[in-house]
Amino acid sequence: MKEIGALWQQFMAQGVLQTIPNRQNDDIYCMYTEYEKDANALYTAILGCRVATLNGLPAGISGKAVAENTYRLYASATQDNVITTWVHIWQTEIDRAYAADFDVYKQDGTVETYLSVHS
């Protein structure tokens, strides 16, 4: 959690979103992927946005395509409720796929959490 907080701080302080070409909107995606095992082991967190193409990304910025999967959607009324959503996920027995999970921080202040699950 500490590292994810630092990632957010750097992303926002450096205005990274505005440097990403071909973005479809200004919703911010926080993706959790490359799980070593499950949520208690190592995984990769990536901040970014949805783009029309990964071509032309500036130096220092990489892209990651989200593989097609089955997702369970959780909606949070505000950004402050996201941690409550994740606590619920961690405390509930869900047949998670641990492929790519992501939060979408929408411009209207709501957040959608997509959890990869086995179909």
Question: What's 38's domain CATH number?
Answer: 3.20.80.10
For residue 67, what pLDDT is reported? 80
Q: How many folded domains does the chain comprise?
A: 1
* Residue reference for tokens 């630092």: 6
Residue 41 has pLDDT above 80, yes or no: yes
Asked if residue 80 belongs to a domain, the reply is: yes
Tell me which residue range forms the domain holding 112: 2-52+67-117
Asked if residue 27 belongs to a domain, the reply is: yes
Asked if residue 58 belongs to a domain, the reply is: no
Residue 92 has pLDDT above 80, yes or no: yes
Asked if residue 59 belongs to a domain, the reply is: no
For residue 1, what pLDDT is reported? 65
Model pLDDT for residues 54-82, shown as the tens digit of each residue: 999 999 898 988 888 999 999 998 888 89
